Amino acid sequence: MRTINISENSITDFLMLRVGAYNDLIKFRLSALVTFSAVFGFILGDSGVIFSWGKFFALMVGGFLISGASGAANEIWERDIDKLMKRTENRPLPLNLISLKEAYWFTSIIALIGISILWIFTNPLTTLLGVLSMVLYVFVYTPLKRVGPIAVFVGAIPGAMPPLLGWTAATGVISHEALIIFGIQFIWQFPHFWAIAWVSDEDYKKAGFKLLPSGGQKDLNTAIQIMIYTLFLLPLGLLPTYFGLTGINSGIVATICGVLFLAQTFSLMKDCSRKSALKIMFGSFLYLPIVQIAYLLDKV
């Protein structure tokens, strides 16, 4: 009887290990956040009398799978580089928890399923944007990370694509409202990624990543650039209210969050410390979902 229990526990542990490995491969938490941004864009764009539940769930599933495939393809590409960094050395490919062949097959299958779902249940424009996002992230942004800070600009495009995908899934067009929510997320990524690059600078140098501006230095010039891009979020955050996409309440929330986010950059300019960069990084994690939720709750 005891042997059976040990066997059952071993099977359970094995399955949990496999599930955890695949969760890490698709960057589950990141893919979930990406899906949330897409859902945000869909709800904001949907103006029909009857909510389009079919398109909504198709966007959720298809968007999540495409994001997961992008994350997995990134880990396949950087599998040898990941071994060099503490933050990535425990990913499934460096630890051989998943074979390379298995990762290729899994990534290809979920990418095709995700694209097919978007094509069948949403529209060609959304599908095209989803494929473009995946191509830019995997085949342009990923190799550029070892070239220079231009990678951050390129990476910000697919990074800002989710709310745009959500909007086009709901409306079938790219309007000025769609470009506004795209622009907010696009600009947000500069202080977000630069703060991460500042905090992870030692690890990134081991991998040859060159993401910080100003020659890759953790200095006042880089801190000023982080401040400037954060400052841009203040007027951008008011555009949905100005164009009548949302009400005044979300404009107030976006302004308060923008001011608090901006205030954190002044500490970095003052001391150029890792601690201040860490505060900006966590501030960026809070800013985007809070503002997006405010827009949803305040939708006109």
What is the DSSP secondary structure assignment for residue 45, as one 8-state letter?
Answer: H
In order along its 300 residues, the chain shows pLDDT tens digits of 344 454 667 888 888 888 999 999 999 999 999 999 999 999 999 987 789 999 999 999 999 999 999 999 999 999 999 999 999 999 999 999 999 999 999 999 999 999 999 999 999 999 999 999 999 999 999 999 999 999 999 999 999 999 999 999 999 999 999 999 999 999 999 999 999 999 999 999 999 999 999 888 999 999 999 999 999 999 999 999 999 999 999 999 999 999 999 999 999 999 999 999 999 999 999 999 999 999 999 986
d(CA 14, CA 173): 46
Find out whether 185 and 159 touch, Cβ atoms under 8 Å. yes
Domain shared by 186 and 88, yes or no: no
Domain shared by 97 and 182, yes or no: no
How many Å separate Cα 212 from the centre of its chain? 18
Look at residue 2 and tell me if it is in a domain: no
Look at residue 122 and tell me if it is in a domain: yes
Of 147, 173, 199, which residue sits at a domain end?
A: 173
Domain shared by 55 and 156, yes or no: yes
Find out whether 235 and 246 touch, Cβ atoms under 8 Å. no
Domain shared by 245 and 110, yes or no: no
Look at residue 137 and tell me if it is in a domain: yes
d(CA 184, CA 44): 14
Q: Count up the domains in the chain and report the number.
A: 2
Domain shared by 115 and 189, yes or no: no
Of 173, 195, 221, which residue sits at a domain end?
A: 173
Domain shared by 147 and 66, yes or no: yes
Q: Is 78 helix (H, G, I), strand (E, B) or coil?
A: coil
Look at residue 272 and tell me if it is in a domain: yes
Cα dihedral across residues 172, 178, 179, 183: positive or negative: negative
Domain shared by 27 and 162, yes or no: yes
CATH number at 99 reads: 1.10.357.140
Domain shared by 138 and 17, yes or no: yes
Domain shared by 200 and 295, yes or no: yes
Q: What residues contact residue 129 under an 8 Å CB cut-off, 6+ apart? A: 161, 164, 165, 168
Domain of 40, in residue numbers: 11-173
Find out whether 42 and 56 touch, Cβ atoms under 8 Å. yes
Look at residue 242 and tell me if it is in a domain: yes
pLDDT of 14 reads 80
pLDDT of 1 reads 38
Domain shared by 142 and 247, yes or no: no
Look at residue 5 and tell me if it is in a domain: no
In angstroms, the Cα distances linking 282 to 63, 157, 261 are 25, 21, 10
Cα dihedral across residues 240, 180, 118, 121: positive or negative: positive
How many Å separate Cα 61 from the centre of its chain? 16
Look at residue 166 and tell me if it is in a domain: yes
Find out whether 207 and 142 touch, Cβ atoms under 8 Å. no
In angstroms, the Cα distances linking 238 to 96, 180, 235, 247, 283 are 48, 10, 5, 10, 19
Of 173, 204, 226, which residue sits at a domain end?
A: 173
Domain shared by 110 and 241, yes or no: no
d(CA 64, CA 75): 16
pTM (predicted TM-score):
0.93
Domain shared by 186 and 115, yes or no: no
Considering only CA atoms, which of 72, 71, 52, 50 is closest in space to residue 60? 52
pLDDT of 8 reads 64
Q: Is 299 helix (H, G, I), strand (E, B) or coil?
A: strand
Cβ density class 198-222: b for 16+ within 10 Å, e for less: bbbbebbeebebbbbbeebebeeeb
Q: Residue type at 185?
A: Q
Q: For residue 25, what are its two tokens?
A: 């491969």
What is the DSSP secondary structure assignment for residue 216, as one 8-state letter?
Answer: G
Look at residue 1 and tell me if it is in a domain: no
d(CA 130, CA 136): 10
